[in-house]
Amino acid sequence: QVQVVESGGGVVQAGGSLRLSCTVSGLTFDDYAIGWFRQPPGKEREGVSCIRYDGSLTYYADSAKGRFTISRDNAKNTLYLEMNSLKPEDTAMYYCAAARVRWSWSCGVGAFSYWGQGTQVTVSS
């Protein structure tokens, strides 16, 4: 049984930073692409950043470029998202998800099969 568990969310002031973590068990972590997604209140879930199974390729949504950094530690079955210069519009539930493929060029929600319960990020102005 695959389990995906996110942590690290919280409340932060605009301009602040947070580091999200995600641990995955029940699958061969270093065989699959994995990514971060978010769903603001009343909006659809969207891809924020994804990383190839070996860490050699990354994708960032335009909203994340220059502010967020994705990384993975395959030895620890853990994914990270370092978020800097946070803005109120970054407020959302953040989800970690693993795909059944090694890479997803689009970082689209539909390409990812295993999802966590999410961790809330709230950025106050």
Average pLDDT (83-93) is 98
Please state the rounded mean pLDDT for residues 16-25.
98
**What is the secondary structure of 21-90 as a DSSP string?**
EEEEESS-GGGS-EEEEEE-TTS--EEEEEE-TTSS-EEE-TTTTTTEEEEEETTTTEEEEEE-S--GGG
Q: What is the pLDDT of residues 55-77, one digit of tens each?
A: 999 999 999 999 999 999 999 99
As a whole number, the mean pLDDT across the chain is 96
- pLDDT band, very low/low/confident/very high, at 116 (cuts 50, 70, 90): very high
